[in-house]
Structure 1
Amino acid sequence: MRLHEYQAKEVFAEAGLPTPDAELAESTDEVLAAAESIGYPVAVKAQVHVGGRGKAGGIELAESDDEAREAADSILGMDLKGYTVDRVLVEAAVDFVDELYVGVTMDRGEGKPVAMVSSEGGVNIEEVAEESPEAIAREHVDPAFGLHPYQARRAVYDAGVEDDVASDVAGVLSTLYDLWEDSDAEDTEVNPVMVTSDREVICADAVMNIDDDALFRHPDLAEMEEAAAEDDLEAKANEYGFDYVRLEGNVGIIGNGAGLVMTTLDLVDYYGGAPANFLDIGGGAKAERVANALDMVFSDENVDSVVFNIFGGITRGDEVAQGINDAIAQFDELPKPIVVRLAGTNAEEGMEILNTDALDVEETLEGAVQKAVEHAGGESR
Structure 2
Amino acid sequence: MRIQEYQSKRIFSHYGIPIPKGRVAINAIIADHIYEELKPDVVIKAQVLTSGRGKAGGIRLAKSAEQVEQITNDILGLTIKGMPVKKILVEEAVKIDQEYFIAIITDKDAGMPALMASKYGGMDIEDAVRENSSAIYTLPIDPLAGLLEFQVRSAALAVELPKQLWNDFADIVLALWKLYEENDADSVEINPLVISEGDKLIALDAKVNIDDNAIYRHPELTEYFDLEEEDRMEYQAKKYGLSYVKLDGDIGCMVNGAGLAMATLDLLSDQGGKPANFLDIGGGANSEKVSSGLKILMQDERVKVILINIFGGITRCDEVAKGLLSVFNNTTIELPVVIRLAGTNAVEGLEMLKNSGLIVVENIGEAARISVQLSTGSKK
For residues 118 and 339 of structure 2, the distance between their equivalents in structure 1, rounded to whole angstroms, comes to 47
2:242 matched residue in structure 1: 242
Secondary structure of 2:50's partner? Answer: coil
In structure 2, the gaps of 5 or more residues are: none
> What is the TM-score with the length of structure 2 in the denominator?
0.81
2:254 matched residue in structure 1: 254
Question: How does 1:177-256 map onto structure 2 within 5 Å?
Answer: 177-196=177-196, 199-225=199-225, 230=230, 232-233=232-233, 235-247=235-247, 250-256=250-256
Post-superposition offset of 1:366: 5.5
Post-superposition offset of 1:28: 3.0
Question: How does 1:150-165 map onto structure 2 within 5 Å?
Answer: 150-161=150-161, 163=163, 165=165
2:87 matched residue in structure 1: 87
1:326 corresponds to 2:337: no
Relative to structure 1, the CA distance from residue 256 to residue 97 in structure 2 (aligned partners, 3 Å threshold; closer, same or farther) is farther
Say if 2:118 and 2:135, in contact at 8 Å, map to a contact too.
yes
Say if 1:229 and 1:235, in contact at 8 Å, map to a contact too.
no
Secondary structure of 1:283's partner? Answer: coil
1:138 matched residue in structure 2: 138
Say if 1:5 and 1:207, in contact at 8 Å, map to a contact too.
yes
Secondary structure of 2:289's partner? Answer: helix
Superposed CA offset, 1:300-321 (max 9, x none): 4555544434333322333223
Question: How does 1:1-381 map onto structure 2 within 5 Å?
Answer: 1-39=1-39, 41-76=41-76, 79-123=79-123, 132-161=132-161, 163=163, 165-196=165-196, 199-225=199-225, 230=230, 232-233=232-233, 235-247=235-247, 250-265=250-265, 275-301=275-301, 303-334=303-334, 336-347=335-346, 349-354=348-353, 358-361=357-360, 365=364, 368=367, 372=371
For residues 29 and 147 of structure 2, the distance between their equivalents in structure 1, rounded to whole angstroms, comes to 45
> What is the TM-score with the length of structure 1 in the denominator?
0.81
For residues 282 and 181 of structure 1, the distance between their equivalents in structure 2, rounded to whole angstroms, comes to 29
Say if 2:242 and 2:289, in contact at 8 Å, map to a contact too.
no
| Amino acid aligned to 1:139 | L
Relative to structure 1, the CA distance from residue 368 to residue 39 in structure 2 (aligned partners, 3 Å threshold; closer, same or farther) is farther
Post-superposition offset of 1:177: 0.6
Say if 2:227 and 2:235, in contact at 8 Å, map to a contact too.
no
Relative to structure 1, the CA distance from residue 67 to residue 111 in structure 2 (aligned partners, 3 Å threshold; closer, same or farther) is same
| Amino acid aligned to 2:172 | V
Post-superposition offset of 1:272: 5.9
For residues 43 and 225 of structure 1, the distance between their equivalents in structure 2, rounded to whole angstroms, comes to 25
Secondary structure of 2:293's partner? Answer: helix
Post-superposition offset of 1:118: 2.4
Secondary structure of 1:113's partner? Answer: strand
Post-superposition offset of 1:117: 1.2
Post-superposition offset of 1:369: 5.0
Say if 2:242 and 2:282, in contact at 8 Å, map to a contact too.
no
| Amino acid aligned to 1:33 | H
Relative to structure 1, the CA distance from residue 360 to residue 126 in structure 2 (aligned partners, 3 Å threshold; closer, same or farther) is farther
Secondary structure of 1:96's partner? Answer: coil
Structure 1 window deviating more from structure 2 (284-293 vs 104-113): it is 104-113
For residues 310 and 339 of structure 1, the distance between their equivalents in structure 2, rounded to whole angstroms, comes to 11
| Amino acid aligned to 1:230 | E
Say if 1:317 and 1:343, in contact at 8 Å, map to a contact too.
yes
In structure 1, the gaps of 5 or more residues are: none
Say if 1:273 and 1:378, in contact at 8 Å, map to a contact too.
no
For residues 143 and 11 of structure 2, the distance between their equivalents in structure 1, rounded to whole angstroms, comes to 22
Superposed CA offset, 1:149-208 (max 9, x none): 001111232344454545444432221111111222222222232344764322122222
Say if 2:297 and 2:303, in contact at 8 Å, map to a contact too.
yes
Relative to structure 1, the CA distance from residue 54 to residue 256 in structure 2 (aligned partners, 3 Å threshold; closer, same or farther) is farther
Relative to structure 1, the CA distance from residue 351 to residue 123 in structure 2 (aligned partners, 3 Å threshold; closer, same or farther) is farther
Post-superposition offset of 1:115: 1.5
Say if 1:42 and 1:61, in contact at 8 Å, map to a contact too.
yes
Say if 2:102 and 2:189, in contact at 8 Å, map to a contact too.
yes
Post-superposition offset of 1:354: 3.6
Post-superposition offset of 1:224: 3.3
Say if 1:251 and 1:275, in contact at 8 Å, map to a contact too.
yes
For residues 274 and 41 of structure 2, the distance between their equivalents in structure 1, rounded to whole angstroms, comes to 41
For residues 221 and 207 of structure 1, the distance between their equivalents in structure 2, rounded to whole angstroms, comes to 14
Structure 1 window deviating more from structure 2 (281-290 vs 195-204): it is 195-204
Identity of aligned residues (%): 41
| Amino acid aligned to 2:39 | G
Over the aligned positions, Cα root-mean-square deviation in angstroms equals 3.8
Secondary structure of 1:68's partner? Answer: helix
Say if 1:255 and 1:280, in contact at 8 Å, map to a contact too.
yes
For residues 272 and 124 of structure 1, the distance between their equivalents in structure 2, rounded to whole angstroms, comes to 39
Post-superposition offset of 1:298: 2.6
Say if 1:237 and 1:296, in contact at 8 Å, map to a contact too.
yes
Superposed CA offset, 1:46-84 (max 9, x none): 333333334455444444444433443344365544544
Say if 1:312 and 1:343, in contact at 8 Å, map to a contact too.
yes
Post-superposition offset of 1:284: 1.0
Post-superposition offset of 1:13: 1.2
| Amino acid aligned to 1:50 | T
Relative to structure 1, the CA distance from residue 235 to residue 111 in structure 2 (aligned partners, 3 Å threshold; closer, same or farther) is closer
Superposed CA offset, 1:89-127 (max 9, x none): 223344435433211122233332212112343359788
For residues 236 and 61 of structure 1, the distance between their equivalents in structure 2, rounded to whole angstroms, comes to 38
